[in-house]
């Protein structure tokens, strides 16, 4: 397996992988709020992700095996003190933000996700980040356990309530 930086020719495969993730998340969603099927436009989603990566000093790394993309991680570098309220409440720091981590379901449990995260963490470290943030959809217990195994811990919890 090889991990390398994203190239424009990877766009279609990134869209395929993000569609896999979206279907997985939707299947776990007890509130049934996630968009799936033809309603979810994976190509537009990837376009928006790439725009954000370019705008926010980020990178996408892809995992390739036997000429096939089997996963990717996307992340950006954020200056915490850009928000005035943050400057008052927290120590200023440069933070790495993992936006997406996807591994094709047929290639999971092969350390691909771990290697992608380690590559992203090295990128963040090289760019003076002192911590890394990643969101995890609460019903996705497998992803939560994966991140804990890599040394991540809960920092903030987002609670929701459906109104009638």
pLDDT tens figures, 44-84: 999 999 999 999 999 999 999 989 999 999 999 987 666 67
Can you tell me the mean pLDDT for 146-157? 92
Residue 82 is predicted with a pLDDT of 63
pLDDT at 21: 94
For 81-110, the pLDDT digits (tens) are 666 776 677 777 889 999 999 999 899 889
Q: Which CATH superfamily is domain 2-149 in?
A: Gcn5-related N-acetyltransferase (GNAT) (3.40.630.30)
Cα 54 to Cα 75: distance, rounded to the nearest angstrom: 10
β-strands 131-134, 94-103: how paired? parallel
Return the pLDDT at 157: 86
Domain boundaries, the chain: 2-149
Mean pLDDT of the chain: 91
Q: For residue 75, what pLDDT is reported?
A: 98
Q: Cβ–Cβ contacts within 10 Å for residue 80, how many?
A: 17
Spatial strand order of the sheet with 94-103 comes to 2-5, 58-65, 68-79, 94-103, 131-134
């Amino acid at each position: 397996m090889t991990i390398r930086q994203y190239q424009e020719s990877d766009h279609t495969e990134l869209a395929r992988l993000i569609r896999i993730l979206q279907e997985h998340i939707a299947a776990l969603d007890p509130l049934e709020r996630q968009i799936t099927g033809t309603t979810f436009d994976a190509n537009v989603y990837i376009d928006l992700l790439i725009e954000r990566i370019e705008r926010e000093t980020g990178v996408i790394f892809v995992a390739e095996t036997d000429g096939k993309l089997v996963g990717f991680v996307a992340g950006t570098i954020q200056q915490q003190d850009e928000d005035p309220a943050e400057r008052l409440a927290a120590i200023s720091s440069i933070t790495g933000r993992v936006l997406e981590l996807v591994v094709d379901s047929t290639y999971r449990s092969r350390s691909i996700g771990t290697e992608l995260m380690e590559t992203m963490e090295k990128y963040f470290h090289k760019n003076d980040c002192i911590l890394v943030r990643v969101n995890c959809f609460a019903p996705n217990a497998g992803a939560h356990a994966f991140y804990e195994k890599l040394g991540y811990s809960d920092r903030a919890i987002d609670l929701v309530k459906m109104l009638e």
